Amino acid sequence: MMKRHHHRPITRRRGSLVLIALVCLIVGMSVLVSSAHRALLVQRQTERFTALRQCQWLLDAGINRALVAIENDADYNGETWQLDQPLPGRRTGQVTIAVQDSDSENGPQRIQVTAVVEPMNSPVGRGQMRRSHSFRLPVSDNHAQDSQ
């Protein structure tokens, strides 16, 4: 007499359940890893956008400061200033203003303003945001008369 194995359907069912559970676990982990990766990308983009805005604000402030300084002092040739307090996001900021006289006596002055924002305590250049703007100002009539 032959014995029949009645355990086969149960082991097949168990194997199927384990396989389904494993597939669900893999899909769930994939969704979780994908969500974490997306959140990290969004955070980095937000930090970069914030640094870009801070750098642009510093550049605008440097341009305004250069215009006022040139208006008040005809011999102003620029400056570099570092922010006393860190910016939000633990960043430092620096603005450099350089004024170059024209080659000709009554030619326009060239002003170069550079703003740099970078994370505090980071390797040089890493995560740094830099923006520059150059423009020319004609020599004012008062300045031209003073030099005669």
Q: What is the mean pLDDT of each run of 10 residues along the chain (148 residues)?
A: 57 82 95 96 90 94 94 91 86 93 76 92 79 83 46
Q: What local confidence, expressed as pLDDT, does residue 9 receive? A: 61
Q: What local confidence, expressed as pLDDT, does residue 127 receive? A: 80
Q: What local confidence, expressed as pLDDT, does residue 135 receive? A: 92
Contact 110, 136 (CB under 8 A): yes
Beta strands of 1-148 (E only): which ranges?
78-82, 91-100, 109-119, 129-137
Structure tokens at 47: 């930090």
- pTM as predicted: 0.69
Domain covering 8-146, topology: S-adenosyl-L-methionine-dependent methyltransferases (2.20.130)
Q: What local confidence, expressed as pLDDT, does residue 144 receive? A: 45
Q: What local confidence, expressed as pLDDT, does residue 98 receive? A: 95
- Bridge partners, residue 109, by sequence: 137
